[in-house]
């Protein structure tokens, strides 16, 4: 009996380390080739590690009685299972109807990994949330430390400072980036944008927003939360991602509405006279302007140029195309595909559209029609309604809003790392059932 208890305890401790570590791998190595395997496989090993750890944890939990019955687990997260179940069905239909070339096999395998990793990350974190709540702080801290190291290398490279850090980063990128030398500070005509460990500044912005939301949603590990919030906000601005910035504004508005009584009370304590209130507001506005103009001209120029283009030419397919980096043409093509098959093509997006659609809602309509779109909306609503402890009651809604807003301009739900990180964070922080 004692041996069995000791074995269970060791397994629990091992999962408490391996689960956050696998999520970290999926974030840091998202969309990167497995450079250490022969031939540089295109399989996303970080996502594969999440699937492996989640499967191990769930099997162990069912065998030891630590997990509730599968029927209870299914009822608890049915929108999650419905969306990814439909996605797997569409993937199976796509495999049955297409020739499996090498690139297709890699694509299918990576989709399977994502569709298993997302619900697996949630269930693993939810069923072992007491152990994983401590690991979340270490996970977010590790993401930020690695992000800042890459950002420093990019900034030094942008300033043409010869240094071993930038040289090491460039050598690393040549090994495993999916696109050749995708570093935005090297691209002619582009404003300075950091991509850090990510292959794309836009997804880096989403990762940083997730870290910032977690950091602001609690009082434990206070030093770690303060460091993560400040550094993630800085990197978010340096990424110059307009989609992530828009999501940050929406989340900020939601926070003001949720915590309005607390915010109003503290503001009145700090500013007990009209003069003090005006001074605090003016100081915050001036600080924001100085930050945007001083350390992140990239996001300022991109936003200002976007508004100037719309104001001069109005909202047309051409201006949308200019403002949103070619998305106007892509979305027009997606609407044409939807008109061709109003109930959906029931094929993966990449087999129907020559280019990524950069919109989760249009992508759902193209692939699975109204059925897949309804399941996507249900999943977002389910995410936002997760019950959190009082100290972090805005966390679930904030993470759901990140997905909902960024899904308008990116393929957030088809990206191999965003949903596993969000769902793991949700599951680990979810309130204990009464």
> What integer pLDDT is reported at residue 102 of this predicted model?
55
> What integer pLDDT is reported at residue 127 of this predicted model?
78
Q: Residue 278 above 90 pLDDT?
A: no
> What integer pLDDT is reported at residue 287 of this predicted model?
58
What are the angstrom distances between the C-alpha of 32 and each of 42, 92, 182, 238, 415?
7, 24, 12, 22, 12
DSSP state at residue 41: B
CB atoms within 10 A of CB 283: 10
pLDDT tens track for 140-196: 999 999 999 999 988 888 788 888 888 888 777 776 665 544 555 455 555 677 888
**Cβ proximity of 151 and 159 under 8 Å:** no
| Predicted TM-score (pTM) of this structure | 0.86
| Interval 80-98 mean pLDDT | 90
* Separation CA 146–CA 157 (nearest Å): 17
Token output for 328 = 């106007």
> What integer pLDDT is reported at residue 181 of this predicted model?
46
Token output for 43 = 């399989």
Please give the residue that has the higher pLDDT: either 40 or 305: 305
> What integer pLDDT is reported at residue 207 of this predicted model?
94
pLDDT tens track for 104-148: 666 777 788 888 889 988 988 887 777 777 788 999 999 999 999
At residue 221, the 3 state secondary structure works out as: coil
pLDDT tens track for 366-389: 999 999 999 999 999 999 999 888
> What integer pLDDT is reported at residue 303 of this predicted model?
56
| Interval 316-325 mean pLDDT | 57
Give the model's confidence band at 338: pLDDT under 50 very low, under 70 low, under 90 confident, else very high: very high
Residue identified by tokens 């071993």 is 164
| Interval 404-409 mean pLDDT | 92
User: For residues 363, 46, 84 and 388, what is the CA-based torsion angle, rounded to 10 degrees?
Assistant: -100
Q: Where are the domains of the chain?
A: 2-429
Lowest model confidence (mean pLDDT) among 63-67, 185-189, 248-252, 259-263: 185-189
Token output for 403 = 């997905």
At residue 386, the 3 state secondary structure works out as: coil
Burial class (CB in 10 A: 0-12, 13-18, 19+), 250: middle
> Rounded to the nearest 5°, which phi and psi values hold at 34?
-80, 85
pLDDT tens track for 341-357: 999 999 888 888 878 88
pLDDT tens track for 190-224: 567 788 888 788 889 999 999 999 998 888 888 89
* Separation CA 184–CA 154 (nearest Å): 9
Residues whose CB falls within 8 Å of the CB of residue 205, separated by 6 or more in sequence, listed in order:
236, 239, 241, 243, 244, 245
E strands within 225-379?
Answer: none
> What integer pLDDT is reported at residue 189 of this predicted model?
52
> What integer pLDDT is reported at residue 145 of this predicted model?
95
Please give the residue that has the higher pLDDT: either 429 or 33: 429
At residue 332, the 3 state secondary structure works out as: helix
Interior/surface letters 49-68, b for 16+ CB within 10 angstroms, e for the rest: bbbbbbebbbebbeeeeebb
Give the model's confidence band at 18: pLDDT under 50 very low, under 70 low, under 90 confident, else very high: confident
Beta bridge pairs of residue 34: 41
* Separation CA 13–CA 270 (nearest Å): 45
Token output for 136 = 């979340």
Interior/surface letters 223-244, b for 16+ CB within 10 angstroms, e for the rest: ebbebbbebbbbbbbbbbbbbb
């Amino acid at each position: 009996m004692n041996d069995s208890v000791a074995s269970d305890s060791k397994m629990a401790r091992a999962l408490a380390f391996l689960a956050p570590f696998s999520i970290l791998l999926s974030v840091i190595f998202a969309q990167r080739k497995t450079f250490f395997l022969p031939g540089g496989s295109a399989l996303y090993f970080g996502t594969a590690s999440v699937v492996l750890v989640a499967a191990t944890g769930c099997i162990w939990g069912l065998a030891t009685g630590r997990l509730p019955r599968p029927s209870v687990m299914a009822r608890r997260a049915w929108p999650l299972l419905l969306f990814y179940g439909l996605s797997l069905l569409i993937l199976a239909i796509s495999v049955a109807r297409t020739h499996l070339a090498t690139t297709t096999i890699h694509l299918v395998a990576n989709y399977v990994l994502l569709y298993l990793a997302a619900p697996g990350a949630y269930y693993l974190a939810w069923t072992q949330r007491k152990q994983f709540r401590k690991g979340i702080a270490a996970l977010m801290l590790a993401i930020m430390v690695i992000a800042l190291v890459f950002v420093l290398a990019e900034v030094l490279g942008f300033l043409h400072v010869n240094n071993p850090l930038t040289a090491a980063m460039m050598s690393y990128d040549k090994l495993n980036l999916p696109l050749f030398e995708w570093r935005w500070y090297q691209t002619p005509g582009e404003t300075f944008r950091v991509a850090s460990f990510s292959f794309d500044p836009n997804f880096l912005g989403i990762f940083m927003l997730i870290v910032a939301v977690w950091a602001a949603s609690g009082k434990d590990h206070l030093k770690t939360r303060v460091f993560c919030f400040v550094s993630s906000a800085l990197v978010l601005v340096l990424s110059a991602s307009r989609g992530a910035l828009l999501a940050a504004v929406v989340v900020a508005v939601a926070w003001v509405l949720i915590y309005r009584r607390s915010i109003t009370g503290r503001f009145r304590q700090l500013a007990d006279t009209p003069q003090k209130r005006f001074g605090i507001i003016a100081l915050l506005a001036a600080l924001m302007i100085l930050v945007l103009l001083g350390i992140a001209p990239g996001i300022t120029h991109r936003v200002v140029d976007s508004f100037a283009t719309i104001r001069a030419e109005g909202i047309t397919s051409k201006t949308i195309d200019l403002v949103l980096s070619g998305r106007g043409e892509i979305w027009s093509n997606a609407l044409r595909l939807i008109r061709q098959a109003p109930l959906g093509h029931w094929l993966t997006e990449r087999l129907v559209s020559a280019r990524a659609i950069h919109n989760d809602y249009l992508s759902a309509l193209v692939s699975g029609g109204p059925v897949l779109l309804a399941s996507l909306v249900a999943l977002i609503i389910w995410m936002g309604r997760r019950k959190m402890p009082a100290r972090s009651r805005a966390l679930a809604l904030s993470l759901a809003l990140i997905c909902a807003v960024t899904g308008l301009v990116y393929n957030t739900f088809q990206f191999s790392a965003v949903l596993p990180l969000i769902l793991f964070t949700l599951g680990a922080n979810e309130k204990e059932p009464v």
